[in-house]
Chains A and B, each alone.
Chain A
């Protein structure tokens, strides 16, 4: 009954590969997000979607492409992985009208070698 679930939890891959991280929320929320936490532990927003529509797109390389097939899913696809992409990626969601009351998943640890 996990509220915001991400898969995979751990991913080790080689430079240049393409990989995806999937996210699903069963809370009925309208807004979903992707955050990145780097090795220095800074947590930064990458994207937010509201009911499948892109709302926030921070300065993220276009190798990163979010896809929202429906409002319960927001997947993150990364092309041509680089060493600097190694980080923990958190998916999150929030209900309509809740401002910034956001519920985070447990994170996906991506290591690029």
Chain B
């Protein structure tokens, strides 16, 4: 599976949009971009995933560049409860595929 690069940390003000970047320049054609987050002392939580089109759900939006070498997770109105480690993962979806978690990016939402 392709590797991803994320900044170690970022912060944003409560109520503002949080834009979390991720680079995946070696992504293959059949690999999806997944985002998970882990709030302190909790299990990881699935957020969203996409192949090449932009995706939106009730939690976030995922913007994937046309060349698919990078993506941005957008939390439109960050709250204090969004403070967590966010993982960007690239993975295929075959039977033997697996999620390889990196260090992620620590998002701190400030009041």
**CB-CB under 8 A for A99 and B96, given A90-B43, A104-B43, A106-B42:** no
Taken residue by residue from 85 to 101, chain B's Cβ proximity to chain A (1 for < 8 Å, 0 otherwise) reads as: 10101011101111111
**CB-CB under 8 A for A100 and B96, given A42-B101, A43-B101, A106-B43:** no
**Closest partner residue, chain A, to B89 (CB atom):** A100
Task: Pick out which of these stretches binds chain A: B12-20, B44-52, B74-82.
Answer: B44-52
A55 / chain B contacts, CB cutoff of 8 Å: 95-96
Contact B43 A44 (CB under 8 A): no
The smallest beta-carbon distance between B62 and chain A, in angstroms, is 13
> How big is the A interface, by class?
20 to 34
A92 / chain B contacts, CB cutoff of 8 Å: 43-44
Taken residue by residue from 17 to 55, chain B's Cβ proximity to chain A (1 for < 8 Å, 0 otherwise) reads as: 000000000000000101000100111111001000000
Besides A43-B87, A44-B100, A101-B49, 13 other A-B contacts (C-beta < 8 A): A43-B44, A43-B101, A56-B96, A56-B98, A92-B43, A99-B49, A100-B32, A100-B93, A100-B97, A101-B46, A102-B46, A104-B45, A106-B42
B residues in contact (CB < 8 Å) with A: 32, 34, 38, 41-46, 49, 85, 87, 89, 91-93, 95-101, 103
Q: List 30 A-B contacts (CB under 8 A).
A: A4-B43, A42-B101, A42-B103, A43-B38, A43-B87, A44-B100, A45-B100, A50-B95, A55-B95, A55-B96, A90-B43, A90-B44, A92-B44, A99-B32, A99-B91, A99-B93, A99-B97, A100-B34, A100-B49, A100-B97, A101-B34, A101-B46, A101-B49, A102-B46, A103-B46, A104-B43, A104-B44, A104-B45, A105-B43, A107-B41
A residues in contact (CB < 8 Å) with B: 4, 41-45, 48, 50, 55-56, 90, 92, 99-107
